[in-house]
Structure 1
C-alpha cells in the first residue's frame, strides 16, 4: 500500500546545518566579545548579522521539518487515511476519494510537503517533510480521478 511518511533523514540534515550555523555564529561572537586577535572590527558588521539570520532561518526550517513527525498518509481502496499519532493530537481521518479536490507535493529549499485539498469547507491536510513511495502521487491522483469518473480502475483492492 503506497504511503507518505515523515522523513527523519531530511530532518537530521536540516538540523545538522542548523547546528553548524550555531557553531559558526558562536565562534564569530566569541571573536568579537573575547578578542584574541583584532578581528572584532571586521566581524562586527554584516558577517555576524548574516550568520545570525541564517541561524534563525535554519532553526525555523528544522522546527517545521519536525512538526509532522507522527503523521502518516496511506492510500486505501476508498480514498486516503490520514493518521496523526502525536500524544496531544490523536487523529485518524478517512478521506473519501470523491471528497478530495487535489493532492500535491511542494518542494521548498529544505524539504517536500504534501498537501491534500478537500472540496468542501476549504479544508486542508498537510504533511511537512514528507517521504513518498515512488508511485504514491500517481496512484493517489488516479484514485481521485477514478472517484470523479475520469479514469479507469487501478490496481488498488479493497482490504
Structure 2
C-alpha cells in the first residue's frame, strides 16, 4: 500500500535555516541597540532589511511546513484514505476514486505540497510538506482514471 506522509527531514532543514537566520538578525539588532564602535552604518539599511525579510519568509515557511505533521494519505482499492490525527482536528475520510477530479504535486523552494481536488462540491484536500514517491503519484492517477471509468454514467436527457 502506497502512502504519502509528512516529511520530517525537510521540516528540520527549513527549521535550521530559520534558526540560523534568526541568529544573524538578532546579532544585527544587538549591534544596532548596543553599538560597539561605528558599526551602525554597516548594519542599518539594506543588510538589516534583507535579514528581517529573509527571517520572516523562513518563519512562515517553517510554520507551513509543520502544519500537516499528523496527516497521512494512503491509496486503497476504493480510493484515497485521508487521515488527519491532529488533536483539535481529527478527520478520517475515504475519498472515492470516482469523486476525485485531480491530484497534483507542487514544489516550492522549501517543500512539496499535494492537492486533491474533488468533483462535485469543489472541495480541496491539501497536504503541505509531503514525502511521496513517483510510484504513489502514478498509482494515484491510475486509480483516479480507473475510478472515473467505473463510475456510473447518467443520461442528461
TM-score of the two chains, using structure 1 as the length reference: 0.92
RMSD: 1.0
Structure 1 residue ranges, 4+ long, deviating more than 6 angstroms after superposition: none
Give 2:107's aligned residue.
107
The alpha-carbon deviation at position 149 of structure 1 amounts to 2.1
Return the alpha-carbon distance in structure 1 between the equivalents of residues 41 and 149 of structure 2. 69
TM-score of the two chains, using structure 2 as the length reference: 0.93
Give 1:135's aligned residue.
135
**What does 1:36-55 correspond to in 2, within 5 Å?**
36-55=36-55
The alpha-carbon deviation at position 62 of structure 1 amounts to 0.2
Return the alpha-carbon distance in structure 2 between the equivalents of residues 143 and 105 of structure 1. 16
Q: Note the alpha carbon deviations across 1:51-88, whole angstroms, 9 max, x for none.
A: 01110110000000000000000000000000000010
How many residue pairs were aligned? 150
Deviates more, 1:82-91 or 1:129-138: 129-138
The alpha-carbon deviation at position 133 of structure 1 amounts to 3.0
Q: Note the alpha carbon deviations across 1:78-115, whole angstroms, 9 max, x for none.
A: 00000000010000000000000010000011000000
Return the alpha-carbon distance in structure 1 between the equivalents of residues 89 and 34 of structure 2. 46
Query: Does structure 2 retain, via aligned residues, the 8 Å contact 1:33–1:40?
Result: no
Match status 1:56 vs 2:86: no
